[in-house]
Amino acid sequence: MFKKIISCILVLYFAVYAVSLSVSGEEALNISAPSALLMEQETGKVIFAKNAHEKRACASVTKIMTLCLIFEALESGKISYDSIVTASPFAAAAGGSDIWLVEGEQMTVHDLIKAIAVASANDASVAMAEFVSGSEQSFVKSMNEKAKQLGMKDTVFKNCNGLDEDGHLTSAYDVALMSRELMKHDDVFEFTSIWLDYLRDGATQIVNTNKLLKSYDGITGLKTGTTSIAGCCISATAKRDDMHLIAVVLGADNTTDRFNDAAALLNYGFANYSAVTPQKPENNITSVDVSKGMKDTVAVKAEIGGKFLLEKGCESEITSQSTIKENIEAPVTKGTEVGRVLYKCGENVLGEYPIVAVEEVKKINFKDVFLIVLNAFLSL
């Protein structure tokens, strides 16, 4: 009787264990914030979403878009790190988190970016907006134009720093999109990874508002935000091996929940997924036949790039197949697509890439043939 009871308990245990294994990672992931999203940066693939398109205030997470436009201005040569910015009365009066700019005070672009990224300085954000676009109003117009370009359909910006303002809204998905865009500028991580630094020749100490910098392995940034309306928000980015993740949390009740949720999202991504660079196709084709050309073949290559986001354990199951178009006729110009490479994992299509000509093959004509024959005859 005792053995039967033990057997029943064991059967019940393993049945419950099997059910728990069948629960998806998204269902098992407990996020307390009302809205959250986890995205892989290079592919833009969404790994986890909770009310991802719910329109919400995001506080200073707004500054991600502000930094996007600043770094675009830097890369275009419109401004430089050494450019001197003079604080206007409007910038100095921004309020909220700031570095206490005084009207007429001058700072370099480099130091103001540091103030925005590390100290979440509202006054520095307004000063840079005015410097880049002439006025905050003009800068905010550019922010909304950029949002539209990125496909941020849930977003309307009303200011450059994220202070509560009626109609200033975004979503977790849109925050991930603008975070992904900012991450294209590698220099930003030199600022977002700073824990403690100084301004004004050491007179002003600034400490990063992103506490994950001190506790999370691989953290690279990106931006926190807190107001009474927005709650506690963060777009946290972290990189391990070749995978860079973006974890967005909006509307958390407190800072502890904000950081715990972000860490849980990142942990789930790193534990369950990997970013894999596609290898050369199994039947790698280097040349294909050409009819009616001055050459019988043309050299080709597969234009493979980017990465695949895979559940861990699927890496060894990737297959590839190259196919070539039928009856390729000259003329063939360099870059002409002559086929495709398809990558799959089981029945799941991972990606498809073109196979293109890497040289030119002219159409055959009597004059060219005659010259070839003549040159051959003369060389005898």
Fold annotation for 287-366: Peptidoglycan synthesis regulatory factor (PBP3), Domain 2 (2.60.410)
63 catalytic per annotation: yes
Structure tokens at 59: 């506080």
Summarised one tens digit per residue, pLDDT across range 283-309 is 889 999 999 999 999 999 999 988 899
* Residue from 154, 152, 132, 153 nearest 142 by CA: 132
40, β-bridge pairs: 245
| C-alpha pair distances (Å), 59 with each of 171, 230, 249 | 12, 6, 12
3-class secondary-structure state, position 356: strand
How many Cβ atoms are within 10 Å of 123's Cβ, its own excluded?
28
Output b/e per residue, 305-335; b: 16+ Cβ within 10 A. eebbbbeeebeeebebebeeeeebebebeee
pLDDT of residue 231: 98
Among 35, 50, 60, 235, the one annotated catalytic: 60
Residue 369 clears pLDDT 90, i.e. is over it = no
Residue 134 clears pLDDT 70, i.e. is over it = yes
Q: Are 230 and 251 in contact (CB under 8 A)?
A: yes
Q: Are 211 and 232 in contact (CB under 8 A)?
A: no
Among 120, 125, 142, 274, the one annotated catalytic: 120
Summarised one tens digit per residue, pLDDT across range 79-88 is 999 999 999 9
320 catalytic per annotation: no
For the chain, which residues make up each domain, given as ranges? 28-272, 287-366
User: What is the Cα–Cα distance from 332 to 239, expressed in whole angstroms?
Assistant: 43
pLDDT of residue 11: 33
Phi, psi values for residue 334, rounded to 5°: -60, 130
Among 63, 114, 146, 239, the one annotated catalytic: 63
pLDDT of residue 15: 36
3-class secondary-structure state, position 54: coil
Residue 2 clears pLDDT 60, i.e. is over it = no
Mean predicted confidence (pLDDT) in 35-59 = 97
The percentage of the chain sitting over the pLDDT mark of 70, rounded to a whole number, equals: 89
Summarised one tens digit per residue, pLDDT across range 194-239 is 999 999 999 999 999 999 999 999 999 999 999 999 999 999 999 9
83 catalytic per annotation: no
pLDDT of residue 232: 98
Which residues are CB-neighbours of 372 under 8 A, at least 6 positions away? none
Summarised one tens digit per residue, pLDDT across range 236-284 is 999 999 899 999 999 999 999 999 999 999 999 999 999 998 888 888 8
* Residue from 269, 196, 276, 274 nearest 237 by CA: 269
* Residue from 162, 177, 184, 196 nearest 56 by CA: 162
DSSP 320-339: EEEEE-SS-BS-B-TT-EEE
User: What is the Cα–Cα distance from 115 to 98, expressed in whole angstroms?
Assistant: 8
Structure tokens at 339: 């086929």
Assigned CATH for 28-272: 3.40.710.10
pLDDT of residue 3: 37
Mean predicted confidence (pLDDT) in 113-141 = 98
Q: Global pTM?
A: 0.86
Summarised one tens digit per residue, pLDDT across range 302-351 is 999 888 999 988 888 899 989 999 889 999 999 999 999 999 988 888 88
Per-residue DSSP letter, 362:
P
Summarised one tens digit per residue, pLDDT across range 96-108 is 999 999 999 999 9
Residue 380 clears pLDDT 70, i.e. is over it = no
Residue 160 clears pLDDT 80, i.e. is over it = yes
